[in-house]
């Protein structure tokens, strides 16, 4: 069975304190790995898609990387507005378009 | 461009009652998905429409759930009769042809069954 595990479950950072979130996956035939941001009371907001090991994507203070077993979301010099839950999801070749999600990492950035 | 919209935002019903959730996808998005998150668990896939056809309904929990997408536009998800374990947040997402995997999510409907 395809599995996605995110760590840590929660992360408290001081403003400017860089850190990384981990998403490890066990799937049969990865088609793509996705990062989403979710704010309280809202739906997941699409951030990045990664398709192959070694690929990297950047957006403002966020950078996502992918290996054959895991993905990292690096947050550089975070600001309070980066506080959110970050979700990782995978699409598997034999499973159509459905996404399998991890449990998420709740990030709180304090000023 | 308007995003995915869902109605209602919150619904509270009693066990045994019926509830219908609605989703309006982004215009031009042929693919429409339903997901849900129950308390303390990760978001789980329910089903996938391509236009008006059900492409994958492998995540539907049981026959109390009925999803429709008449005319390939908006979709409804009916729960009848509702049980306590159906409580959670139901998300709808859509994606455009050629970029199927980039799914854009709506704000969700929070369903509480008492």
Q: What is the pLDDT of residue B2?
A: 81
CA distance, residue B41 to nearest chain A CA (Å):
7
For the residues B53-74, what does the mean pLDDT come to? Answer: 93
Could you tell me the pLDDT band of residue A74, with boundaries at 50, 70 and 90?
very high
Could you tell me the pLDDT band of residue A94, with boundaries at 50, 70 and 90?
confident
Residues of B in contact with A36 (CB under 8 A): 105
For the residues B102-109, what does the mean pLDDT come to? Answer: 95
Indicate which of B103, B104, B109 best probes the interface with A, i.e. most A CBs within 10 Å of its own CB.
B103
For the residues A26-40, what does the mean pLDDT come to? Answer: 94
Could you tell me the pLDDT band of residue B72, with boundaries at 50, 70 and 90?
confident
Q: B108: how many CB neighbours lie within 10 A of its CB?
A: 26
Range B5-113: architecture per CATH = Sandwich (2.60)
Could you tell me the pLDDT band of residue B92, with boundaries at 50, 70 and 90?
very high
Instruction: Please tell me the least confidently modeled range out of A23-27, A89-93, B100-104.
Output: B100-104
**Domains, chain A, with CATH or none:** 3-110 (2.60.40.10)
User: Taking the domains of chain B in order of start, what are their residue ranges?
Assistant: 5-113
Could you tell me the pLDDT band of residue B26, with boundaries at 50, 70 and 90?
very high
Residues of B in contact with A42 (CB under 8 A): 107-108
Give chain A's mean pLDDT: 95
Could you tell me the pLDDT band of residue B1, with boundaries at 50, 70 and 90?
low
Q: What is the pLDDT of residue B7?
A: 97
Tokens describing residue A39 = 């704010």
A-B CB pairs within 8 A amount to 62
């Amino acid at each position: 069975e395809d599995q996605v595990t995110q760590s840590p479950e929660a992360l408290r950072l001081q403003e400017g304190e860089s850190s990384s979130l981990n998403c490890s996956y066990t799937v049969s035939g990865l088609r793509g790995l996705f990062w989403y941001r979710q704010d309280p009371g809202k739906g997941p907001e699409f951030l990045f898609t990664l398709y192959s090991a070694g690929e990297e994507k950047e957006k403002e203070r966020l950078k996502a990387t992918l290996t054959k077993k895991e993905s990292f979301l690096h947050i550089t010099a975070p600001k309070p507005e980066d506080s959110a839950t970050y979700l990782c999801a995978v699409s598997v070749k034999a499973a159509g378009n459905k996404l399998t999600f991890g449990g998420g990492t709740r990030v709180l950035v304090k000023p | 461009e308007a995003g995915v919209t869902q109605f209602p935002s919150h619904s509270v019903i009693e066990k045994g009652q019926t509830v219908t959730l609605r989703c309006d996808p982004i215009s031009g998005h042929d693919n429409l998905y339903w997901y849900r998150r129950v308390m303390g668990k990760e978001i789980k896939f329910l089903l996938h429409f391509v236009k008006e056809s059900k492409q994958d309904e492998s995540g539907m929990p049981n026959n109390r759930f009925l999803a429709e997408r008449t005319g390939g536009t908006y979709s409804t998800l009916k729960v009848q009769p509702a049980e306590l374990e159906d409580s959670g947040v139901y998300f709808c997402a859509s994606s455009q042809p050629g970029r199927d995997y980039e799914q854009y999510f709506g704000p969700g409907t929070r369903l509480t069954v008492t």
